Copies of this chain bind each other. A is one copy, B any other.
Amino acid sequence: MHVVITGAGGFLGNRLARALAERGRLRGAPITALTMADLSAPEPVAAPFPVRSRACGVAQRDQVDALLSDGAEVIFHLAAIVSGQAEAEFDLGMAVNLTGSLNLFQAARALGTCPVVVFTSSIAVYGGEAPDPITDTVLLNPQTSYGAQKAAAEMILTDMSRRGFIDGRGLRLPSITIRPGRPNRAASSFMSSIFREPLQGQEAVCPVPPDYVLWALSPRRCIENLIHGAELPGQAFGPNRCLALPGRSYTIGEMVEAMRRVAGEAPVRLIRWEVDPELMRIVADWRGRFAVEKALRLGFVRDESFEDNVRQFLSEELGRG
């Protein structure tokens, strides 16, 4: 079982690699090799099987072909230009998020072995005319270039799976919070930083009002879901290989209250509330209320409460009780 992860230099890619190293198995077989790829060759994780690190720009088909030249049974395609940057640099977003994904699907097809391809899409595919709450059968009407590029790639993923070229699974990630590390150019970056920085004694700016609703999932449950997405038999997805992952709906205010219950007053006082109109323009239409029957039926999981996410961050990232 050879597993490939693109975007493996990112937070989720690295965490996924670590989870695979810990499991040692996938789809009923021992993992015999893991290839971690990113634009710059990422730091390999420690694992009981060989871990290779590769530099690969997915926008270049020949680089993707080279990445898969040793074959692959399961490919996790996480490489992407995030929402804020795809909005600022349209052509770069098209090249990586759409052309790059198509390159990956076509290179996987060229293996001739119908490999499993787990594609990380996003709830940014929803918006516009889609009614509230989002259900499994409402239209994708993205209002960002990032969402449009993900939605376009989804269409081809499902079709290439229907044709038996690849065994694709498209998982629309909720806002993943609390992420460790530094803020990035994702418009959703604040959804982690307003907790992460205060929990470490630093000030953070919240660019949306407290009643902003988001659909959130913890890093731990996200990784469990990515692996579950690979484990499921392809036919379980039915005629649509793409679905919204479970999450929970919270207002930012409720999340801050949850942090207060877990960590007290001090971090809450470190949040400065300052609405950012440009950022609001991007995230205002992101949807926060979902009914994800299909994903729950297929066994994807969510958190119990945002308190859990705060505790998870404290223990896993800060090493506190």
Instruction: Count identical subunits in the complex.
Output: 2
A142 at the interface (CB under 8 A from B): yes
Chain A, interface residues (CB within 8 Å), range: 35 or more
Task: Pick the residue among B90, B94, B127, B159 that contacts A148 (CB under 8 A).
Answer: B159
Interface string of A75-107 (1 = CB under 8 A from B): 000000000000000100010001000100000
Task: Pick the residue among B137, B138, B152, B163 that contacts A145 (CB under 8 A).
Answer: B163
Q: Is the CB of B138 within 8 A of A137?
A: yes
**Contacts of A144 on B, CB cut-off 8 Å?**
159
**Contacts of A238 on B, CB cut-off 8 Å?**
128-129
Interface string of A126-154 (1 = CB under 8 A from B): 01111100001111111111001101110
Secondary structure at chain A's binding surface: helix, strand, loop or mixed? loop
Task: Pick the residue among B148, B153, B159 that contacts A158 (CB under 8 A).
Answer: B148
Q: Is the CB of B129 within 8 A of A136?
A: yes
Measured in the bound complex, the distance between the Cα atoms of B224 and A67 in whole Å is 50
Measured in the bound complex, the distance between the Cα atoms of B93 and A165 in whole Å is 15
Measured in the bound complex, the distance between the Cα atoms of B53 and A17 in whole Å is 56
Q: Is the CB of B163 within 8 A of A127?
A: no
Measured in the bound complex, the distance between the Cα atoms of B155 and A140 in whole Å is 8
Chain B nearest CB from A319 CB (Å) reads: 43
For the complex of A and B, 3 pairs with smallest distance between CB atoms? A128-B239, A148-B159, A152-B152
User: Could you tell me which A residues sit within 8 Å of B by CB distance?
Assistant: 90, 94, 98, 102, 127-131, 136-145, 148-149, 151-153, 155-156, 158-159, 162-163, 165, 238-240, 285
Q: Could you name 9 residue pairs across A and B whose Cβ atoms are closer than 8 Å?
A: A94-B102, A129-B238, A139-B240, A140-B140, A148-B155, A148-B158, A148-B159, A149-B155, A152-B155
